[in-house]
Amino acid sequence: MFGTSCDEPGQQAVNAPDLETIVTHGLCTGCGLCASLAGRDRLTMQVSSYGQIRPRAREKLDAATLEGIQSICPGIRVTGPDASQVASVGTMHPVWGPIRSLHRGWAVDEAVRFRSAAGGSMTALAVFLLESGKVDSILHVRASSAKPMLTDAQVSTTAEEVKSGAQSRYGPVAPLVPVHRLLDEGRRFALVGKPCDVAAIRNLARIDPRVEEQIPYCLTTFCGGIPTLHTARKIAAHHGVPEDEIQVFRWRGNGWPGPTHVEARDGRTYDLTYDQTWFDPSRPWSYDIQFRCKICPDAIGELADVSCPDGWVMKGGTPTHEEAPGVNLLIARTERGERLVAEAAAAGAIELAPFTIAQLDAMHGDHLPRKLENPARIAALKVAGAPAPRFSGFRRWRMIWRAGLWRSFRAFSSTKRRILAGAHREPLL
């Protein structure tokens, strides 16, 4: 196991793992913050044979750099939200975390709403942050222009650039590689990324005082996990489009959820509905997420200022994926996030409608297994003798209580069995 029994922010772990151990034991999220800290001349991010993006050291890292990486890496350390966030307003929900305000919502700009993954709220909030002068840049991602199946980090300073990144990218990307460059340049920027990307920024804030001032907003999604690049490759192959002939690879958007759309350079186009892409067992691909996602303590963005999942259409008490005008939920976690949502609505950037925690329970129940079983899964890693990350502040005992002893025991046993069989391991490159 990594770490001491002390969970003080910024404190170094004892027997802390090197990068090779983090990667080969399936703990890396692929965020790229280690490469940002070490610098590209010493550490690069590369797609591995496993189909995820992983750090590769060009030279042996000195002890100080490695210690820095160990304290910021979200693969091995995530500290939960602070109860003081909701001391005066809102609630610390046992499952859904801090909630200061909760709404359904969508971008007022119809073109953004149509193009985006869901209701375009994340894009609308990011554009509002830029145009109101609250930040000068947005750090987010977008499809690679050179290889559209891949995804690149993107620093945007105009609304049009932000909009070009709208949609969900269900594949590897290292969004945080530019972070230290932006901090060094004195930029004030917002992050739009996955919950683990936000966790990395929160870790960095504990050792770098610039973060509080220069990264004032973190916006995120709910996250089902990142599939490997093999999934995209299999979809392209299924359509008979070689990788180097792909002109567009769009996972969602242009509708809600919108088709998984592949366009070849010769003009051929192929569309699959959301359910055909992810819920048809006859397809030769699956949602083959990395191991770290299976033990994720926070796939619902508890550490963000605002978390923006889908606001699915409900039928008979369950979510459906029928095409409709896009809708998000906007869960403001912090005072800053609450103010941002209110100001963006007042400025006419987003439209808000009422929503309740009971509705959230019904709509996003698919996130309960990972959340409730997390303490049991982490305990299994430790008992099996595998390197285990340090996750604290996620209401561990309340999760176990909610899951019940039998469910926790089953989660513990099946995870332990998989760990002993080496199912969490991945090749270094």
Ligand X SMILES: Cc1cc2nc3c(=O)[nH]c(=O)nc-3n(C[C@H](O)[C@H](O)[C@H](O)COP(=O)(O)OP(=O)(O)OC[C@H]3O[C@@H](n4cnc5c(N)ncnc54)[C@H](O)[C@@H]3O)c2cc1C
Binding site for ligand X (CB under 6 A): 116-123, 140-142, 165-170, 173, 175, 192-194, 197, 221-224, 226, 308-310, 326, 328
Contact between 171 and 230 under an 8 Å Cβ cutoff? The reply is no
Structure-token pair, residue 157: 């300073």
Q: How far is Cα 66 from Cα 44, in angstroms, rounded to an integer? A: 15
CB of 122 or CB of 223, closer to ligand SF4: 223
Q: How far is Cα 336 from Cα 91, in angstroms, rounded to an integer? A: 16
Instruction: Write the binding mask 21 to 40 for ligand SF4: x where contact by CB under 6 A, - elsewhere.
Output: -x-----xxxxxxx------
CB under 5 to 8 A by kind: which of ligand X, ligand SF4, none does 201 bind? Answer: none
CB of 287 or CB of 384, closer to ligand X: 287
User: CA 138 from chain center: how many Å?
Assistant: 16
- Neighbour-count burial of 239, counting CB atoms closer than 10 A to its CB (0-12 exposed, 13-18 middle, 19+ buried): middle
Angle between the N-to-C axes of helices 63-72 and 195-207, in degrees from 0 to 180, rounded to the nearest 10: 130
CB under 5 to 8 A by kind: which of ligand SF4, ligand X, none does 78 bind? Answer: none
Instruction: With H, G, I as helix, E, B as strand and everything else as coil, classify residue 198.
Output: helix
Instruction: With H, G, I as helix, E, B as strand and everything else as coil, classify residue 3.
Output: coil
| Minimum separation from the CB atom of position 420 to ligand X (A) | 29
Angle between the N-to-C axes of helices 405-420 and 374-383, in degrees from 0 to 180, rounded to the nearest 10: 40
Peptide bond into 354 cis (omega under 30): no
| Minimum separation from the CB atom of position 116 to ligand X (A) | 3
| Region near ligand SF4 per CB under 6 A, out of 157-165, 192-200, 205-213, 346-354 | 192-200
| Minimum separation from the CB atom of position 328 to ligand X (A) | 5
User: Kind of pairing, strands 189-193 and 217-220?
Assistant: parallel
Structure-token pair, residue 307: 């978390």
| Amino acid at the residue 271 | D
How many of the chain's residues bind ligand SF4 (CB under 6 A)? 23
| Region near ligand SF4 per CB under 6 A, out of 116-124, 220-228, 248-256, 396-404 | 220-228
CB of 194 or CB of 416, closer to ligand SF4: 194
CB under 5 to 8 A by kind: which of ligand X, ligand SF4, none does 394 bind? Answer: none
Contact between 347 and 341 under an 8 Å Cβ cutoff? The reply is no
CB of 17 or CB of 119, closer to ligand X: 119
Instruction: Write the binding mask 59 to 98 for ligand SF4: x where contact by CB under 6 A, - elsewhere.
Output: --------------xxx-----------------------
| Minimum separation from the CB atom of position 365 to ligand X (A) | 11
Question: Nearest residue by C-beta to ligand X?
Answer: 309
**Does residue 194 interact with ligand SF4 by CB under 6 A?**
yes
CB under 5 to 8 A by kind: which of ligand X, ligand SF4, none does 26 bind? Answer: none
Q: Looking only at residues 93 through 152 of this chain, which bind ligand SF4 when binding is defined by CB under 6 A?
A: none
CB under 5 to 8 A by kind: which of ligand X, ligand SF4, none does 416 bind? Answer: none
| Minimum separation from the CB atom of position 200 to ligand SF4 (A) | 6
Among 99, 143, 153, 296, binds ligand SF4 (CB under 6 A): 296
| Minimum separation from the CB atom of position 40 to ligand SF4 (A) | 13
User: Cα dihedral angle (155, 161, 167, 168), rounded to 10 degrees?
Assistant: -10
CB under 5 to 8 A by kind: which of ligand SF4, ligand X, none does 183 bind? Answer: none
Q: How far is Cα 226 from Cα 98, in angstroms, rounded to an integer? A: 24
CB of 76 or CB of 173, closer to ligand X: 173
Name 271's bridge partners: 261
Q: How far is Cα 227 from Cα 172, in angstroms, rounded to an integer? A: 7
| Minimum separation from the CB atom of position 71 to ligand SF4 (A) | 10
Q: How far is Cα 425 from Cα 38, in angstroms, rounded to an integer? A: 25
| Minimum separation from the CB atom of position 361 to ligand X (A) | 14
Q: If we measure between CA atoms, which residue out of 57, 72, 62, 55 comes closest to residue 12? A: 72
Structure-token pair, residue 408: 């926790």
CA dihedral (6, 12, 17, 19) positive or negative: positive
Interface residues toward ligand SF4, by CB under 6 A: 19, 22, 28-34, 55, 73-75, 194-196, 223, 225-226, 292-293, 296, 299
